[in-house]
Amino acid sequence: MENLFLLRANKQQTKSIVPKERTREEFAALCNRHIETVYRVCFSLMGNSSDAEDATQAVFLKLMEKNIQFSDTEHEKAWLITAARNQCRDIHRQWWRKKVVALNQVEAISTDNYETDPVVDALMQLPSRLRIILYLHYYEGYKLSEIAGMLGLNINTVKTQIRTAKQKLKLELGDDFND
């Protein structure tokens, strides 16, 4: 009888560990809070809007399927940024991606007549690993130690990559670029 009581108590504890499912309203609120951030991260890694939209959608689909419970909004944001980075990496690893002509080349040909922002052009010329760190630090306001934790890098590596990115931007933009 005592074993039955322990078994029943263990089942109740197990039920409390299982995360409750989000309602549509809760999920929609979560998406609205973080969709711009996730899109910007994906855009900085993918380099074009269509791939960034696909990656953003995939990140939120994963979140819906996994039903992860977060402790606060910062935890949500950090998880989504990491998931976005991983999703973009997965897309870059796919074999068909290497066989397709880059849309950036087509977009560049079709927009030759339009003036573009030289800073944005210079940023897009940087490798994605440098763009994401600049974005997280300067646009999202993360500290270097937080970026290192999110991206699984050493803090000194993050510092070096920020310095490298700034140097490349300075070379590209000339003396007009201020640190």
Is residue 140's pLDDT more than 70?
yes
Query: Which has the higher per-residue pLDDT, 81 or 103?
Result: 81
- Mean pLDDT over 20-37 rounds to 85
Domain boundaries, the chain: 24-92, 116-179
- Mean pLDDT over 3-30 rounds to 58
Burial 40-74 (b: 16+ CB within 10 A, else e): bbbbbbbbeeebbeebbebbbeebeeeeeeeeeee
pLDDT tens per residue across span 54-82 = 999 999 999 888 878 888 888 889 999 99
Task: Write down the pLDDT at residue 84.
Answer: 93
Q: What is the pTM of this model?
A: 0.58
- CATH number corresponding to 24-92: 1.10.1740
The C-alpha atoms of residue 83 and residue 74 are separated, in whole angstroms, by 14
DSSP 136: I
* Fold classified for 116-179: Arc Repressor Mutant, subunit A (1.10.10)
CB neighbour list of residue 80: distance below 8 Å, 6 or more residues apart: 34, 37, 38, 59, 63
Task: Write down the pLDDT at residue 7.
Answer: 43
Residue 97: Cβ within 10 Å count: 12
Q: Above pLDDT 90, what percent of the chain?
A: 26
Task: Write down the pLDDT at residue 2.
Answer: 44
Confidence of residue 9 (pLDDT cuts 50, 70, 90): very low
> Are residues 41 and 34 in contact, defined by beta-carbon separation less than 8 angstroms?
no
The C-alpha atoms of residue 159 and residue 9 are separated, in whole angstroms, by 51
Task: Write down the pLDDT at residue 158.
Answer: 92
- Tell me the pLDDT of the chain averaged across its residues: 77
For the record, the structure tokens of 77 come out as 């944001």
Is residue 25's pLDDT more than 80?
yes
CA atoms within 13 A on the CB side of 20: 5
Helical ranges in 67-143 per DSSP H? 73-93, 95-99, 103-110, 118-125, 128-134
Task: Write down the pLDDT at residue 85.
Answer: 92
For the record, the structure tokens of 161 come out as 């990559």
Highest mean pLDDT out of 24-33, 135-144, 155-164: 155-164
Comparing 43-57, 88-102, 147-161, which segment has the lowest mean pLDDT?
88-102
Task: Write down the pLDDT at residue 175.
Answer: 62
Task: Write down the pLDDT at residue 5.
Answer: 42
Task: Write down the pLDDT at residue 65.
Answer: 86
The C-alpha atoms of residue 103 and residue 53 are separated, in whole angstroms, by 14
∠ Cα 112 168 140 (to 5°): 90
